[in-house]
């Protein structure tokens, strides 16, 4: 009996090993093959100076009521008009809701669906606590050691200026597109785009625009060692973005003098609720964008990692555990929980009546806000904690397909203009972009900015010493230039 059991176990092991090896050796590369044809596109040396003028405008989006960036936004409009005279002569420009910009470059073939290219003009504030850590002042537009430094160089004025630089270059060559282009430049992306991009999207929808593709910021070229087992740069094309939900937690318990505190206080009860949320993070799981990512990256990994990725039916938990060991990986596999504000108390010897906390959640595709809210209530499990939704809320975006010609055009363009051997992969955007407002205009919405980013560079976005290398900005312009040509030549 034991002999038969041992034989059966051995057979099962051999079958499993055979399946694992078969899947690994047949895990074929999905990288696109194309010749580099656009790396020699000449870029005007003054292009970086024009972007620098835009950086000088403090187009800060403020959360605080009463604070405004309107003058800086309007000044930026003037800079764009002066910097790109042919664009403003040949294209139709429309100011949306007083401050956002919508350009139309009319194509000659109305049967071709248009392409929408996006960027945003606003930036986040500078933290006073670390303002002194900036190597160069954030709004002086200084070029130092081959890099333009300042707030907005990466997020996201480089896209606004890069798109217009490429368009100006094409206009100088008397290029007339067959396919209509729309350029959408929002003024409040850092506040959710409710007054800018959302309004522009509604205008285009009302006019019956159905786009073949929408391209906005979101992901980037990952360099260094940010992806385990991968040494080549990887262009990560966002095919979806996480949703956004913010909850306010409030407790109200009778306070009084701190010399005779009650057994439980509003601060104590609320602190337990927040701690419970952090101790019971929402479950991890694969999403469609994550599976797509591993389909593209897995075949390029060393044999051991390739074997794990190729056999997720066996190693899925191992893969998730490995990826969630660092914060970016954890955010890719779960709806995240982030306490961001805690307010209570007015005096050191007064036990406050009310305590308030704000917790932000970024929702994975497939995790709906009402389900997350139910889980939060179950985790806290305390009727004394009032839970309400505040701020704007968005479900995770639909997932755009990598099988469509629009994705393939992007991949081809990336490989054509890159100075090195670059890989391409779909990915999930962990933050939010203005493109979320365009889901009714196109099924092909991609979030990608052709900029190289190391782990240190990622810290600069919304952080200190934001910068863009001059050579990287020139390659970004080449990317937009070649993309505009490619969407004309290829049947989408």
Pick from 173, 289, 301, 290: nearest CA to 232: 301
Pairwise CA distance, residues 94 & 114, whole Å: 17
Per-residue model confidence as pLDDT tens digits over 470-486: 999 999 999 999 999 99
Domain ranges of the chain: 47-239+399-489, 243-394
Pairwise CA distance, residues 45 & 34, whole Å: 28
pLDDT value at position 14?
85
pLDDT value at position 138?
95
| Domain formed by 243-394, architecture | 2-Layer Sandwich (3.30)
Pairwise CA distance, residues 230 & 418, whole Å: 17
Residue 288: phi and psi, rounded to 5, are -60, -45
pLDDT value at position 68?
78
Residue 319: phi and psi, rounded to 5, are -65, -45
DSSP tally for the chain: helices H, then strands E:
15, 17
Pairwise CA distance, residues 209 & 263, whole Å: 62
Is residue 87 within 8 A of residue 167, CB to CB? The reply is: yes
Radius of gyration of the chain (CA): 25
Per-residue model confidence as pLDDT tens digits over 79-94: 999 999 999 999 999 9
Task: Judge whether 466 counts as a catalytic residue.
Answer: no
243-394: same fold as 47-239+399-489?
Answer: no
Q: Which residues contact 21 (CB under 8 A, 6 or more apart)?
A: 307
Return the residue matching tokens 């839970």.
Answer: 387
pLDDT value at position 39?
61
* Segment 236-257 mean pLDDT: 95
CA angle 5/6/10 to nearest 5° reads: 115
Catalytic-role residue among 122, 156, 217, 367? 122
Per-residue model confidence as pLDDT tens digits over 4-36: 777 877 888 888 889 899 999 999 999 988 777
Task: Judge whether 189 counts as a catalytic residue.
Answer: yes
Alpha-carbon torsion 71, 77, 80, 81, what sign? negative
- Using pLDDT thresholds of 50, 70 and 90, give the confidence band for residue 492: low
The CATH number of 47-239+399-489 is which of 3.40.50.880, 3.40.720.10, 3.40.630.10, 3.90.45.10?
Answer: 3.40.630.10
**3-state SS, one letter per residue, for 106-128:** CCCCCCCCCEEEEEECCECCCCH
Q: Is 374 helix (H, G, I), strand (E, B) or coil?
A: helix
Pick from 155, 162, 164, 141: nearest CA to 81: 164
Distances (CA, A) of 316 to 157, 199, 319, 430: 40, 42, 5, 21
Other beta carbons within 10 angstroms of residue 478's beta carbon come to: 26
**What's the pTM value of the predicted model, to 2 decimals?**
0.94
To the nearest 10°, report the CA torsion of 94, 182, 488, 45: 80
* Range with lowest mean pLDDT among 57-71, 106-120, 136-150, 451-465: 57-71
Is residue 344 within 8 A of residue 270, CB to CB? The reply is: yes
pLDDT value at position 25?
93
Length of the chain: 492
Pairwise CA distance, residues 348 & 257, whole Å: 10
Mean pLDDT of the chain: 94
Residues paired with 341 in a beta bridge: 358
pLDDT value at position 360?
97
* Segment 355-373 mean pLDDT: 97
Catalytic-role residue among 155, 156, 165, 189? 189
pLDDT value at position 461?
93
């Amino acid at each position: 009996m034991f002999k038969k059991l041992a034989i059966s176990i051995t057979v099962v092991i051999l079958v499993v090993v055979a399946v694992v090896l078969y899947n690994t050796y047949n895990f074929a590369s999905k990288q696109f093959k194309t010749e580099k044809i656009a790396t020699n596109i000449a870029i005007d040396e003054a292009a970086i100076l024009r972007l620098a003028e835009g950086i000088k405008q403090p187009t800060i989006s403020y959360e605080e009521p009463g604070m405004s960036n309107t003058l800086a936004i309007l000044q930026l409009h003037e800079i764009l008009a002066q910097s790109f005279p042919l664009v403003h002569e040949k294209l139709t420009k429309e100011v949306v809701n007083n401050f956002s910009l919508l350009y139309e470059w009319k194509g000659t073939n109305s049967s071709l669906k248009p392409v929408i290219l996006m960027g945003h003009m606003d930036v986040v504030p500078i933290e006073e606590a670390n303002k002194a850590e900036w190597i160069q002042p954030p709004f002086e537009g200084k070029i130092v050691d081959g890099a333009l430094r300042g707030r907005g160089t990466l997020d996201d004025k480089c896209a606004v200026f890069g798109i217009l630089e490429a368009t100006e270059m094409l206009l100088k060559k008397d290029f007339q597109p067959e396919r209509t282009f729309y350029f959408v430049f929002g003024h409040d992306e850092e506040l959710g785009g409710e007054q800018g991009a959302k309004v522009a999207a509604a205008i285009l929808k009302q006019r019956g625009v159905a786009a073949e593709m929408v391209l906005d910021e979101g992901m980037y070229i990952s360099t260094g060692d940010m992806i385990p087992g991968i040494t080549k740069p990887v262009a990560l094309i966002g095919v979806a973005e996480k949703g956004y939900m913010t909850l306010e937690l409030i407790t109200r318990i009778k306070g009084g003098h701190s010399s005779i505190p009650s057994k439980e206080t509003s601060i104590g009860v609320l602190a337990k609720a927040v701690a419970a949320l952090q101790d019971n993070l929402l479950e991890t799981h694969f999403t469609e964008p994550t599976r797509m990512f591993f389909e593209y990256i897995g075949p390029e990994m060393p044999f051991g990692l390739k074997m794990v990725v190729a056999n997720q039916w066996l190693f899925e938990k191992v893969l998730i555990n490995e990826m969630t060991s660092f914060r970016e990986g954890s955010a890719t596999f779960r709806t995240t929980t982030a306490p961001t504000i805690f307010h209570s108390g007015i005096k050191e010897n007064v036990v406050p009546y009310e305590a308030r906390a704000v917790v932000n959640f970024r929702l994975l595709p497939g995790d709906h806000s009402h389900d997350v809210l139910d889980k939060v209530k179950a985790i806290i499990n305390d009727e004394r904690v009032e839970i309400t939704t505040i701020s704007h809320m968005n479900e995770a975006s639909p997932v755009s397909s990598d099988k469509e010609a629009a994705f393939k055009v992007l991949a081809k363009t990336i490989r054509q203009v890159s100075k090195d051997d670059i890989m391409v992969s779909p990915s999930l955007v962990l933050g939010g972009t203005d493109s979320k407002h365009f889901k009714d205009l196109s099924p092909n919405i991609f979030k990608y900015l052709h900029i190289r980013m190391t782990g240190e560079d990622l810290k600069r976005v919304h952080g200190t010493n934001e910068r863009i290398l001059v050579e990287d900005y020139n390659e970004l312009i080449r990317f937009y230039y070649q993309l505009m040509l490619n969407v004309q030549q290829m049947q989408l």
